[in-house]
Each structure stands twice: as C-alpha cells, then as structure tokens.
A and B are shown apart, each in its own frame.
Chain A
Amino acid sequence: MAGGVARFWREIPQRYNIIGNKCGSCERVFFPPREACPHCRRKSLGKMEDIKLSGKGEIITYTIIHVGPEAFKEQVPYPVAIIKLEEGPQITAQIVDCNIDEVKIGMKVENTFRRIQEDGYTGAIYYGYKFKPVKE
C-alpha cells in the first residue's frame, strides 16, 4: 500500500494488539482510537484513554472475496467479515482457520496475529489481526 513503512509502523499498537481507546466521560470504547468521542466531543478532550480490547466478538456480516487486490490475489477466495467486539466497536478483518462455507452471521470469533500483506517480494511484511472461530 502507498506510504511505506512509517505509515504502517505508527499503527502497530492497534494492528498487533488491538489497542483502542475509551472516553473518560461516557465510557464508550472506540477502535481504532479516536482523538475525541463523537458523543461527548469537547468534554472528552484529554480524557481519551488507551485500552487493550479482548479481541473476542461476533460476525455481523461477511463476504467471500473472489476477486482480490494485487496483494491478496493468491489468497482468493477468502472470507472478510465485520465483527462486533465485546467492548462495542466493530472491525473489518479476514476470517481464518475454518472452511469458507462455515463462516456465518452470529459466529463467535477471536483475534489471531497473522501476516496481512507485503510490499512485493523484497519489501516489508505487514502483520496484524485476523479472526478465527472460537472453539467451544
């Protein structure tokens, strides 16, 4: 993706450890972290605190990508979902470690640290979160 290493590096806490933040005024949780809470706005300034999210949640919708971007074309077909995390925020990520036909709305999932993409054969490798089914 455009921008190179620094652009990725500055998001490492969010991408590696799902660090969001919480409004000190209303306690709502955000991912990715926001400068201000959209509900409390000026009351939240200076009161946004980083928190590590559990990485557990539920699929609220998904798709199977059959035609992927250049950096993902060797992975097709692959599932991508919007997951509602336990703390409230929703997040877009790939679903892994299951058959693509097993992916369902309502499925419980948890995050896992994986390779996401790379800057060509000799470039930097970018890591981050994907989600896998929670084994009962």
Chain B
Amino acid sequence: MRDVVVIGVGLTKFGELWDKSFRRLIAEAGSKAILDANIGGKDIDAMYIGSMSSGRFVGQEHVGALVADASGFSHLHIPATRVEGACASGGLAIREGYLSIASGMNDIVVVGGVEKMNDVGGNFATETLATAADQEWEAFFGVTFPGLYAMIAKRHMHEYGTTKEQLAQVAVKNHANGALNPYAQYQREITLEQVLNATMVARPLGLLDCSPVTDGAASVVLCAAEKAKEFTDKPVKIIASGQGSDTLALHSRRDICTLDATVHAAKMAYKQANLTPSDIDLAEVHDCFTIAEICAIEDLGFVEKGQGGKAVENKITTLDGSLPVNTSGGLKSKGHPVGATGVAQLVEIAQQLRREAEKRQVKDARIGLAHNIGGSGATCTVHILEAM
C-alpha cells in the first residue's frame, strides 16, 4: 500500500442556492480543489463522485460522467465513477479514491461530493432522505428519518439518563462554530432555549435538533505521497481509512444506541494508523441529528458508552475544549448536502491541519478524524488525517 495525501481542497458555499445547478455546484468545488492542488486536467487519473440521490433530487442519474463533462474534462475521457451509500456517499467516494491510489493503480484522483436538495419541495426531500431507511419494514409503517434517530435518542435517555438539554447543547455548540465559518448555511448562534422550544419534529427531537436541507458541493484532490512534492508544500496525509456496515433497519441492530458500523470502521482506522482515540486532536462527526453526535463520540471511543451527553454538557467538544468536534459547524449549522458531507468533512480537517481554518483554527492540531454515516447507521466511513 502506498501513502496517500490530500493536495487540494475546494468547497462551495452551503445553503439554499437557487441560482446554482447541480452541475455548476460540483464544477465550482472541483475547480477550486484543482487550482488549490496546482494540477491540470491531464494530471487526473480518475474521479470519484459521491451523490446520494441525484435521481430523485434533480431527476439525473449517470452523474460520474456528468461531473467529468461539467468540469471540462470530457475530451480527456477520465474514468469517472459515482459512489452511493446514502449520506455516507461522500465518505465512500473518498475511500474509493484513497484505495485506488494506495493500490498503485492511480497517482492523482479528484474526489467530489454534491447534492442539490432544494429544487424539490420539503416533503419530497424528506421522503427522499427516508429512502436511506428500510423501505419495506420501516418507512412503509410511517416512521420518518428523524423518527429513527428520535428512537435512538429515547432509548439513550432511558438507558443512560441523557437529557434533552444535553442534546440541545450539541446544536448550540455547532451553531457557535458555524457562525465562524463563511461557507456555512447558518452563520449564527442559537440559544439553548431556542433549541428546547423549537417546533417538535419527532419527540424528543425538535426542529433545531435536525440538520437542514442544503445545496452544496465539496472536493479534494488526492495524490500518491511520493509525487506530492511536485504540486504542494503543505500535503496532509491520510493515515487511515476505515469502513463498516450494519443492518439497514434500526430495529435489527444488536443495540439501538450503538452504531456498530462506526465501532467497526473506527477500529479498522485506529489499527491502520496505530493510534488510540486519545491521540485525535479534533474530529468532524456525522451530526445529522443532535443524538447522532452523542452516539458518534461514544462509538469512536472518545468517551465511554453513555457518557456522550455529559461530555457535551462539560464542554469537552467545544472549539476550546480538549477534543473539538465539528469545528466547521457540523451538519447542523454548516448544512448537510448529503452526498457532499463526507467530502466537506475532509476539507475541514485538511484546512485545520494546514492551519487555514482562520477563526475556527484549533491550536496545534496535528491529527484529525472524519466520521461519515449513511442512513441510521448502516454505512460508516472513518478517515484519519495527519499534518506533515
């Protein structure tokens, strides 16, 4: 296996981007990453694109080729492949790009993630997200996607005494971080009272416990470490890539409150990097709902099972805490264009390790982790990056 580094990153603004189409979004993020990496089209050996449901959101499948075309590379006939794993599509695309370089097959790969979610109405968007759940045995019976995470939250409260206030503190923290991120959908702070009093979506989760519907794209350029010097003097090394899967339906899991796909992916990643959770300086975790961040910090091994709520309450995960989590604002505040999310997490970690995170910069950050979930936990990727 060859070492792989990130040599370029690019991000569009996240939000309701009425004037930008699916193809313009991904072409913009890709162009930024390619310029940042100081490469040209002829240097690119392959492209991997994460998109969860372009077919339902914009009525367009076959987006691997579309993205290569929209980026101006149709005449170069670059192998371009779309990767899908619900909200983990971006993380999977990163992993496919990583593996293709590590294997020796490719030297330079552009990875993109994109979702254009606002062209359809809110109901249709919610139902599209619910296709990540088991259609026959969950969605058919009336459970929504927030409903699944609400059931995780309810069980977590029952078993560990986690409180609605602790859930709310995840949203408050992530909005405080997002307020410092010029690319975030919601660049404003919110109060605990606002979260607690928000319209109920699926008890105990209110509107401000939920990540929003977002348009956006993200891209990274990956390169074989031995060739990176030709292009950049600030490479960030991917020191581990883990992936795990689990039952599609939440009700079939070993434990409702543990995402075993995360546990498995994290174990794989820590082993490859020869690290333990305490070696991680900062993490971007998949906070599609506030409870998801609490489960994530437990399942990634940062705190013991059941202690996630307390850890948030004790401000361990704030920007100046001992383990900053979701410095970008997370899915909650930065926004969650589902296919783009896993790639955008890597962009944030790379920027932090390159000391380019401006007001969000975590001092002395050297090792960062990105955790991306598909569905209610049936797919997970974990990547660990190190500053060089």
Contact = CB atoms under 8 A, between A and B. Distances in A.
Q: Is the interface of A mostly helix, strand, loop or mixed?
A: strand
B256 A61 contact: yes
A68 interface: yes
Q: Which residue among A93, A94, A130 has the maximum number of chain B CB atoms within 10 Å of its CB?
A: A93
Nearest to B256: A61
Given A1-B140, A61-B151, A82-B250, A69 B127 contact: yes
Could you say which interface size class chain B belongs to? 20 to 34
Q: Which residue among B135, B138, B141, B203 has the maximum number of chain A CB atoms within 10 Å of its CB?
A: B141
Interface stretch (A39-47, A48-56, A70-78): A70-78
A120 B199 CA distance: 28
Nearest to B138: A92
B123 interface: yes
Nearest to A10: B136
A69 to B, nearest CB: 6
Nearest to A79: B203
A75 B154 contact: no
Interface of A: 1, 11, 32, 60-72, 75, 77-78, 80-82, 89-94, 105, 116-117, 126, 128-130
16 contacts: A1-B140, A11-B136, A60-B256, A62-B154, A63-B202, A66-B200, A67-B146, A69-B123, A70-B123, A77-B203, A80-B141, A81-B151, A90-B251, A91-B137, A117-B140, A130-B141
Given A65-B142, A92-B138, A117-B142, 19 more contacts: A60-B155, A61-B152, A61-B154, A62-B151, A62-B154, A63-B143, A63-B203, A63-B205, A64-B203, A66-B203, A69-B144, A72-B142, A77-B203, A80-B141, A90-B251, A94-B142, A105-B155, A116-B140, A116-B141
